Structure 1
Amino acid sequence: MSLQDELTAVQRCLDDLVRSVGRLEQQVGGGLDIRRVRTDTDHLRDSVALLREAAPALEPERARPEVIRIPDQPYDRSLWTDSDDEGLGCSGRHAP
Protein backbone atom coordinates (compact mmCIF):
# COMPACT_ATOMS: atom_id res chain seq x y z
CA MET A 1 0.00 0.00 0.00
CA SER A 2 1.13 3.52 -0.66
CA LEU A 3 1.48 6.08 2.07
CA GLN A 4 -1.69 7.85 0.94
CA ASP A 5 -3.63 4.56 1.08
CA GLU A 6 -2.37 3.93 4.61
CA LEU A 7 -3.32 7.43 5.72
CA THR A 8 -6.78 7.01 4.22
CA ALA A 9 -7.21 3.72 6.12
CA VAL A 10 -6.07 5.41 9.36
CA GLN A 11 -8.49 8.28 8.76
CA ARG A 12 -11.34 5.84 8.18
CA CYS A 13 -10.56 4.00 11.44
CA LEU A 14 -10.26 7.28 13.30
CA ASP A 15 -13.66 8.41 12.00
CA ASP A 16 -15.14 5.12 13.26
CA LEU A 17 -13.49 5.74 16.65
CA VAL A 18 -14.91 9.26 16.87
CA ARG A 19 -18.41 7.96 16.11
CA SER A 20 -18.04 5.19 18.69
CA VAL A 21 -16.82 7.62 21.34
CA GLY A 22 -19.80 9.88 20.55
CA ARG A 23 -22.24 6.99 21.06
CA LEU A 24 -20.45 5.98 24.25
CA GLU A 25 -20.61 9.55 25.51
CA GLN A 26 -24.37 9.58 24.99
CA GLN A 27 -24.75 6.37 26.99
CA VAL A 28 -22.32 7.17 29.81
CA GLY A 29 -22.82 10.89 30.09
CA GLY A 30 -20.26 13.68 30.25
CA GLY A 31 -17.96 12.47 33.00
CA LEU A 32 -14.27 13.17 33.32
CA ASP A 33 -13.21 9.81 31.83
CA ILE A 34 -15.25 10.18 28.65
CA ARG A 35 -14.04 13.77 28.21
CA ARG A 36 -10.47 12.49 28.43
CA VAL A 37 -11.22 9.91 25.73
CA ARG A 38 -12.90 12.59 23.59
CA THR A 39 -9.84 14.84 23.99
CA ASP A 40 -7.54 11.98 23.03
CA THR A 41 -9.53 11.26 19.87
CA ASP A 42 -9.42 14.96 18.97
CA HIS A 43 -5.64 14.92 19.42
CA LEU A 44 -5.41 11.86 17.18
CA ARG A 45 -7.50 13.60 14.55
CA ASP A 46 -5.19 16.65 14.66
CA SER A 47 -2.09 14.44 14.47
CA VAL A 48 -3.38 12.56 11.43
CA ALA A 49 -4.24 15.85 9.75
CA LEU A 50 -0.67 17.07 10.32
CA LEU A 51 0.69 13.79 9.01
CA ARG A 52 -1.45 14.10 5.88
CA GLU A 53 -0.02 17.56 5.25
CA ALA A 54 3.53 16.25 5.62
CA ALA A 55 2.88 13.09 3.57
CA PRO A 56 4.22 14.32 0.20
CA ALA A 57 7.56 15.11 1.84
CA LEU A 58 7.63 11.74 3.62
CA GLU A 59 6.93 9.55 0.61
CA PRO A 60 10.17 8.19 -0.84
CA GLU A 61 11.01 8.95 -4.43
CA ARG A 62 10.63 5.95 -6.65
CA ALA A 63 13.84 5.31 -8.48
CA ARG A 64 13.48 4.84 -12.20
CA PRO A 65 14.98 1.57 -13.33
CA GLU A 66 18.16 1.86 -15.34
CA VAL A 67 17.58 1.28 -19.03
CA ILE A 68 20.08 -1.09 -20.60
CA ARG A 69 20.34 -0.72 -24.34
CA ILE A 70 21.02 -3.87 -26.34
CA PRO A 71 22.59 -3.23 -29.73
CA ASP A 72 20.91 -4.53 -32.87
CA GLN A 73 24.21 -5.63 -34.45
CA PRO A 74 25.05 -9.33 -34.23
CA TYR A 75 27.56 -10.38 -31.60
CA ASP A 76 31.14 -11.09 -32.54
CA ARG A 77 31.28 -14.84 -33.32
CA SER A 78 34.77 -15.09 -31.82
CA LEU A 79 33.17 -14.67 -28.39
CA TRP A 80 31.60 -18.11 -28.69
CA THR A 81 34.51 -20.26 -29.97
CA ASP A 82 35.27 -21.93 -26.62
CA SER A 83 31.68 -22.42 -25.46
CA ASP A 84 29.41 -25.42 -25.60
CA ASP A 85 26.23 -25.50 -27.60
CA GLU A 86 23.59 -25.57 -24.93
CA GLY A 87 22.13 -29.03 -24.62
CA LEU A 88 24.33 -30.46 -27.39
CA GLY A 89 27.70 -30.74 -25.63
CA CYS A 90 31.06 -29.68 -27.01
CA SER A 91 31.71 -29.84 -30.68
CA GLY A 92 33.84 -32.84 -31.65
CA ARG A 93 32.47 -35.01 -28.85
CA HIS A 94 29.82 -37.66 -29.17
CA ALA A 95 26.95 -38.42 -26.86
CA PRO A 96 27.18 -41.77 -25.03
Structure 2
Amino acid sequence: MSVHDELASVQRCLDDLIRSVGRLEKQLGSGGLEMRRVRADTNHLRESVALLRETAATAAPPKRPDLVTISDTPYDPSLWVDTDDEGLGARNRHAP
Protein backbone atom coordinates (compact mmCIF):
# COMPACT_ATOMS: atom_id res chain seq x y z
CA MET A 1 0.00 0.00 0.00
CA SER A 2 1.11 3.52 -0.63
CA VAL A 3 1.50 6.10 2.12
CA HIS A 4 -1.67 7.80 0.91
CA ASP A 5 -3.63 4.54 1.18
CA GLU A 6 -2.23 3.82 4.64
CA LEU A 7 -3.13 7.31 5.87
CA ALA A 8 -6.63 6.96 4.45
CA SER A 9 -7.01 3.66 6.31
CA VAL A 10 -5.78 5.27 9.54
CA GLN A 11 -8.23 8.13 9.06
CA ARG A 12 -11.15 5.72 8.61
CA CYS A 13 -10.19 3.84 11.77
CA LEU A 14 -9.82 7.12 13.64
CA ASP A 15 -13.27 8.24 12.47
CA ASP A 16 -14.70 4.94 13.76
CA LEU A 17 -12.93 5.48 17.08
CA ILE A 18 -14.31 9.01 17.41
CA ARG A 19 -17.85 7.74 16.74
CA SER A 20 -17.42 4.93 19.28
CA VAL A 21 -16.09 7.32 21.91
CA GLY A 22 -19.07 9.58 21.27
CA ARG A 23 -21.48 6.69 21.83
CA LEU A 24 -19.67 5.72 25.04
CA GLU A 25 -19.84 9.32 26.20
CA LYS A 26 -23.62 9.29 25.76
CA GLN A 27 -23.95 6.08 27.75
CA LEU A 28 -21.45 6.82 30.53
CA GLY A 29 -21.62 10.60 30.66
CA SER A 30 -18.77 12.97 29.98
CA GLY A 31 -18.10 14.07 33.55
CA GLY A 32 -15.87 11.22 34.71
CA LEU A 33 -12.11 11.50 34.68
CA GLU A 34 -11.71 8.36 32.58
CA MET A 35 -14.09 9.55 29.90
CA ARG A 36 -12.45 12.97 29.76
CA ARG A 37 -9.06 11.30 29.34
CA VAL A 38 -10.33 9.08 26.52
CA ARG A 39 -11.88 12.10 24.78
CA ALA A 40 -8.66 14.13 25.19
CA ASP A 41 -6.56 11.23 23.89
CA THR A 42 -8.88 10.81 20.91
CA ASN A 43 -8.63 14.51 20.08
CA HIS A 44 -4.86 14.40 20.44
CA LEU A 45 -4.69 11.41 18.11
CA ARG A 46 -6.85 13.25 15.57
CA GLU A 47 -4.47 16.24 15.65
CA SER A 48 -1.43 13.97 15.33
CA VAL A 49 -2.86 12.18 12.29
CA ALA A 50 -3.68 15.53 10.68
CA LEU A 51 -0.07 16.65 11.18
CA LEU A 52 1.17 13.38 9.74
CA ARG A 53 -1.04 13.80 6.68
CA GLU A 54 0.32 17.32 6.12
CA THR A 55 3.89 16.10 6.45
CA ALA A 56 3.32 13.19 4.08
CA ALA A 57 1.71 15.49 1.50
CA THR A 58 4.76 17.76 1.38
CA ALA A 59 7.44 15.07 1.72
CA ALA A 60 9.26 14.01 -1.42
CA PRO A 61 9.27 10.32 -2.24
CA PRO A 62 12.42 8.55 -1.08
CA LYS A 63 15.21 8.73 -3.62
CA ARG A 64 16.97 5.53 -4.59
CA PRO A 65 20.72 5.74 -4.14
CA ASP A 66 22.86 5.73 -7.24
CA LEU A 67 24.24 2.33 -8.11
CA VAL A 68 28.00 1.90 -8.03
CA THR A 69 29.56 -0.54 -10.46
CA ILE A 70 32.33 -2.68 -8.99
CA SER A 71 34.78 -4.03 -11.48
CA ASP A 72 35.55 -7.76 -11.64
CA THR A 73 39.19 -7.14 -12.49
CA PRO A 74 41.66 -8.01 -9.71
CA TYR A 75 43.16 -5.24 -7.60
CA ASP A 76 46.74 -4.13 -8.16
CA PRO A 77 48.94 -6.33 -5.89
CA SER A 78 51.16 -3.31 -5.10
CA LEU A 79 48.32 -2.00 -2.93
CA TRP A 80 49.03 -4.76 -0.43
CA VAL A 81 52.85 -4.71 -0.12
CA ASP A 82 53.00 -2.76 3.15
CA THR A 83 50.22 -4.59 4.97
CA ASP A 84 50.52 -7.29 7.57
CA ASP A 85 48.82 -10.63 7.14
CA GLU A 86 46.19 -10.42 9.82
CA GLY A 87 46.92 -12.85 12.61
CA LEU A 88 50.18 -14.03 11.05
CA GLY A 89 52.45 -11.05 11.73
CA ALA A 90 54.52 -9.04 9.27
CA ARG A 91 56.31 -10.61 6.32
CA ASN A 92 60.00 -11.44 6.72
CA ARG A 93 59.77 -11.27 10.49
CA HIS A 94 59.75 -14.12 12.98
CA ALA A 95 57.18 -14.60 15.69
CA PRO A 96 58.47 -13.83 19.21
Instruction: Read off the aligned partner of 2:53 and give its amino acid letter.
Output: R
* Structure with more relative contact order (C-alpha pairs < 8 Å, separation 6 or more): 1
Distance 1:6 1:59 in 2: 15
* Corresponding position of 1:25: 25
Distance 2:48 2:36 in 1: 18
Distance 2:12 2:4 in 1: 12
* Corresponding position of 2:62: 60
Distance 2:28 2:11 in 1: 25
Determine what percentage of the aligned residue pairs are the same residue.
69
The aligned runs of 1:1-96 (5 Å cut-off) are: 1-30=1-30, 31-56=32-57, 57=59, 59-61=61-63
Distance 1:55 1:4 in 2: 8
Structure 1 segments (4+ residues) deviating >3 Å: none
Q: Which runs of 5+ in 2 are unaligned?
A: 65-96
Distance 1:59 1:38 in 2: 34
Give the TM-score, by structure 1 length: 0.61
The CA RMSD over aligned residues, in Å, is 1.8
Q: Which runs of 5+ in 1 are unaligned?
A: 64-96
Q: Please say which structure displays the higher CA radius of gyration.
A: 1
Give the TM-score, by structure 2 length: 0.61
